Each structure stands twice: as C-alpha cells, then as structure tokens.
Amino acid sequence: MGIMYESVRRLYLEGRISEAGLNNAVTRGWITPEEKTTIMQEAD
C-alpha cells in the first residue's frame, strides 16, 4: 500500500470520488483490486 492507495482511500472516504473513480484507479494501476475492496469495506 503506497502513497496512491492512501490518496485514493482518503478521496473515496471523503466522498470526493465514487466507485467509478476507484475502478479508474485500478485500471491505471494506482491500486490493486484487493485494495479497492478494502477501501469499499471501510466505507460501510
């Protein structure tokens, strides 16, 4: 988990990006699919 993970996580938890934004981050290689799942579970 790197700097991009922390940035994407923070943006998602603040409501500044949506699930589509998380998908984009996975596509760009900024986070892994597993990290996306972790972020989404945290928000619940």
Distance (Å, whole) CA 28 – CA 44: 24
pTM (two decimals): 0.91
pLDDT in tens, the chain (44 residues): 899 999 999 999 999 999 999 999 999 999 999 999 999 999 98
Q: Which residues of 8-40 are buried (b: 16+ CB within 10 A; e: fewer)?
A: bbebbeeeebeeeebeebbeeebbeeebbeebe
Supply 35's token pair.
């990290």
Residue ranges of domains in the chain? 3-43
